[in-house]
């Protein structure tokens, strides 16, 4: 059996700690890409007046605080519709300007 030095153990631990969140983000992105799109006729979407094309040019899902996808993405995840994607150009009544 090979002996592991403290330096090797600390290096491996640091690598694992840094890698875990990155792997989690990558797997979430892959899951989001496979997620179905929100149907505007869905009860929750209707309750929030969700549309795929925003009637307000400056209020888009892609610049909403609840949108968790990349701002330039055509479709992405939203905190209000777990497991589904909303249109980056969409809008709903829960829209809140993204900080920053």
CATH T-level fold of 36-100: High-Potential Iron-Sulfur Protein; Chain A (4.10.490)
Domain boundaries, the chain: 1-34, 36-100
How long, in residues, is the chain?
100
pLDDT band per the 50, 70, 90 thresholds, residue 1? low
SS3 67: strand
pTM for the predicted model, two decimal places: 0.66
| Tens digits of residue pLDDT in 12-68 | 777 767 766 765 655 454 455 689 999 999 999 999 999 999 999 999 999 999 999
Residue 76 · residue 32 · CB < 8 Å? yes
């Amino acid at each position: 059996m090979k002996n592991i030095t403290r330096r090797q153990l600390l290096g491996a631990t640091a690598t694992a700690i840094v890698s875990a969140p990155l792997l989690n983000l990558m797997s979430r992105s892959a899951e989001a890409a496979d997620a179905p799109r929100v149907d505007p006729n869905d009860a929750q979407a209707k309750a929030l007046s969700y549309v795929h094309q925003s009637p307000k040019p400056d209020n888009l899902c892609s610049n909403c605080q609840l949108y968790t996808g990349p701002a330039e993405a055509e479709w992405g995840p939203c905190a209000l519709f777990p497991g589904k994607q909303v249109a980056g150009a969409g809008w709903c009544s829960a829209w809140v300007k993204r900080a920053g």
